[in-house]
């Protein structure tokens, strides 16, 4: 055993020596002391965003933590994030890809290369393909499908309301957002009534996959194989399940297209199939890209909606004011239209903004890497350092927001209000932010016009403390839903 330990230490020390320049340059950046060998990785397990919020309060907007041999610098607050990711965008743009990371091992293989964990020309090409389907004109066309999904969700909620019983809302918001992305990708959706085994499995696998992506694995940061191989095996199992579903959907889409001879829904899969035919991506690369789009677009919107309705159930005055505002602005026989009403119903915009502020989509974003030595906030950060955008703490900071832990939509009417950056900062921010904003706004407007969402136990506020993941996970929440007098389904 001693020989094994000495061997592991020798290998790990070799990795440390390789990172000695980074460590030396970053040594003047403040941060918590870590344990030998492990650094701070054991101290930040669990709800990492809360630990980083604590570190921000202790060490300031630029602080350093160590994950084994990896130097990580965390940036908090829009001024610092802007200085790094906008003023020095080219130096902070790449994703940090660790060679022995289980995710990178998969995605770095040419045949599996996806969108999220790629850099360089490959990423630029894929980004342009995806963005071509996210123009204002394309999103306006998607409004029809978003409104259809909102109505389908309303029909289910009407049945639940008629039952007069409280029920867990989370899975329905998850399915709503998954259906929008499936429509975007393949032109299909899942049924809501009595959620079938297939749709429930997809929801659960996406959430577990997201959770695995966010959890630190010791072998990712230390120079030896993972001592507990179950975690990597579970990651690959989740990927295989998602890939199996995606391959089936691609096959179904190809069959339907060949039989009809046309692109009925204008799904993005057609653009990706063209890239496949050009040889720009592989078959499994196509699957990886679809997995990336699905997990990035599905869980984030569903969680955001759940948090928003928790907040409004906890404060009925906000919900009632929004209902009255929507009623006054939209004729009773007319559906909400994002493109028509997004600028003409200010209070709806305030509620959506406050939702994004208090419950940011990506609490810590995805890791970036510096390509050169650079000075940010008066601190020199070494080339090759892993960089984290501390979005959660930025949106909960008293330096930028009054009463940051409270849900106050009217705060955005103030002149000196902070800057929202819930979709991250810089050229690699969330590609689908415009679609996500349309989804969230449309769903809130349609649901509030038709129903009142009530805390079953009003003496005890609903829990809105999320569980850490790449996207903050809302607690499983039971709500009582009551129909409005004038349903506009």
Comparison of pLDDT for 357 and 288, the residue scoring more: 357
Give the pLDDT of residue 236.
Answer: 78
pLDDT reading at 231 higher than 80 = no
Residue 145 in contact with residue 180, Cβ under 8 Å?
yes
Give the pLDDT of residue 15.
Answer: 52
Give the pLDDT of residue 475.
Answer: 96
Pick the range with the lowest mean pLDDT from 161-170, 175-184, 400-409.
175-184
Comparison of pLDDT for 319 and 69, the residue scoring more: 319
Give the pLDDT of residue 485.
Answer: 73
Given pLDDT bands bounded at 50, 70 and 90, which one contains residue 435? very high
Q: Helix H segments across 94-229?
A: 102-107, 120-131, 136-163, 170-186, 197-214, 218-221
Give the pLDDT of residue 445.
Answer: 98
pLDDT averaged over every residue in the chain? 87
pLDDT reading at 227 higher than 60 = no
Which of 103-107, 192-196, 292-296 is most confident?
Answer: 292-296
- Quote the CA–CA distance of 92 and 82 in Å, as a whole number: 11
Give the pLDDT of residue 110.
Answer: 57
pLDDT reading at 126 higher than 90 = no
Give the pLDDT of residue 198.
Answer: 60
Could you give the percent of the chain with pLDDT greater than 70? 85
Give the pLDDT of residue 202.
Answer: 72
Domain boundaries, the chain: 1-91+363-421
pLDDT reading at 363 higher than 60 = yes
Given pLDDT bands bounded at 50, 70 and 90, which one contains residue 261? low
Angle of helix 197-214 relative to helix 170-186, nearest 10 degrees, comes to 90
Give the pLDDT of residue 112.
Answer: 66
pLDDT reading at 389 higher than 70 = yes
Given pLDDT bands bounded at 50, 70 and 90, which one contains residue 89? very high
Give the pLDDT of residue 68.
Answer: 86
Using alpha carbons, list the distances in angstroms from residue 341 to 242, 309, 323: 36, 21, 14
CATH number for region 1-91+363-421? 3.30.43.20
pLDDT reading at 225 higher than 80 = no
pLDDT reading at 16 higher than 80 = no
Residue 182 in contact with residue 189, Cβ under 8 Å?
yes
Give the pLDDT of residue 188.
Answer: 79
Using alpha carbons, list the distances in angstroms from residue 46 to 68, 72, 357: 17, 18, 22
For residue 1, count CB atoms less than 10 angstroms from its CB and return exposed for 0-12, middle for 13-18, buried for 19 or more. exposed
pLDDT reading at 4 higher than 80 = no
Give the pLDDT of residue 459.
Answer: 92
- Quote the CA–CA distance of 232 and 96 in Å, as a whole number: 19
pLDDT reading at 196 higher than 60 = no
pLDDT reading at 315 higher than 90 = yes
Give the pLDDT of residue 192.
Answer: 67
**Coil, strand, or helix at residue 453?**
strand
Tens of pLDDT, residue by residue over 37-68, are: 889 988 888 899 999 999 999 999 999 999 88
- State yes or no: 430 annotated in a binding site: yes
What is the bridge-based pairing of β-strands 70-75 and 62-67? antiparallel
Pick the range with the lowest mean pLDDT from 33-42, 249-258, 441-450.
249-258
């Amino acid at each position: 055993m001693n020989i094994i330990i000495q061997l592991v230490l020798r290998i790990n020390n070799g990795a440390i020596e390789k990172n000695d320049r980074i460590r030396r340059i970053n040594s003047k950046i403040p941060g918590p002391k870590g344990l030998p060998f492990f650094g701070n990785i054991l101290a930040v397990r669990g709800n990492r965003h809360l630990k980083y919020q604590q570190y921000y309060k202790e060490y300031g907007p630029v602080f350093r933590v160590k994950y084994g041999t990896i130097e990580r610098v965390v940036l908090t607050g829009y001024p610092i994030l802007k200085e790094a990711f906008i003023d020095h965008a080219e130096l902070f743009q790449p994703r940090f890809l660790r060679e022995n990371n289980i995710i990178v091992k998969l995605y770095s293989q040419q045949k599996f290369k996806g969108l999220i964990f790629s850099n360089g020309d490959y990423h630029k090409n894929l980004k342009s393909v995806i963005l071509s389907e996210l123009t204002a004109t394309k999103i306006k066309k998607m409004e029809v499908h978003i409104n259809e999904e909102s109505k389908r969700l309303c029909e289910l909620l009407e049945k639940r309301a008629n039952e007069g019983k409280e029920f867990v809302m989370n899975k329905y918001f998850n399915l709503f957002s998954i259906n929008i992305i499936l429509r975007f990708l393949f032109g299909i959706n899942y049924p809501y009534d009595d959620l079938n085994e297939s749709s429930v499995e997809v929801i659960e696998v996406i959430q577990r996959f997201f959770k695995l992506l966010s959890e630190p694995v010791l072998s990712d940061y230390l120079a030896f194989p993972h001592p507990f191989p179950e975690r990597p095996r579970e990651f690959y199992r989740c990927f295989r399940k998602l890939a199996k579903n995606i391959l089936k959907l691609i096959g179904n889409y190809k069959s339907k297209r060949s039989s009809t001879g046309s692109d009925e829904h204008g799904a993005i899969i057609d653009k990706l199939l063209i890239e496949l035919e050009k040889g720009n991506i592989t078959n499994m690369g196509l699957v990886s890209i679809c997995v990336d789009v699905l997990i990035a677009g599905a869980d984030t919107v569903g969680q955001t909606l759940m948090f928003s309705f928790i907040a409004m159930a906890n404060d009925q005055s906000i919900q009632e004011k929004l209902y009255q505002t929507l009623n006054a602005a939209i004729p009773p026989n007319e559906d909400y239209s994002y493109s028509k009403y997004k600028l003409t119903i200010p209070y709806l915009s305030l509620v959506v903004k406050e939702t994004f502020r208090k419950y940011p989509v990506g609490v810590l974003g995805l890791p970036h890497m510096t390509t050169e030595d650079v000075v940010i906030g008066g601190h020199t950060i070494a080339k090759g350092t892993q960089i984290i955008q501390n979005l959660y703490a930025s949106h909960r900071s008293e330096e930028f927001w009054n009463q940051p832990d409270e849900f106050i939509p009217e705060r955005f009417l103030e002149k000196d209000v902070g800057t929202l950056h819930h979709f991250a900062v810089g050229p690699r921010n969330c590609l689908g932010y415009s679609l996500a904003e349309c989804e969230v706004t449309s769903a809130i407007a349609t649901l509030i016009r038709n129903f009142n969402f009530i805390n079953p136990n009003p003496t005890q506020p609903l829990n809105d403390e999320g569980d850490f993941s790449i996207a903050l996970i809302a607690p499983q929440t039971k709500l009582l839903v009551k129909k409005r007098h004038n349903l506009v389904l």
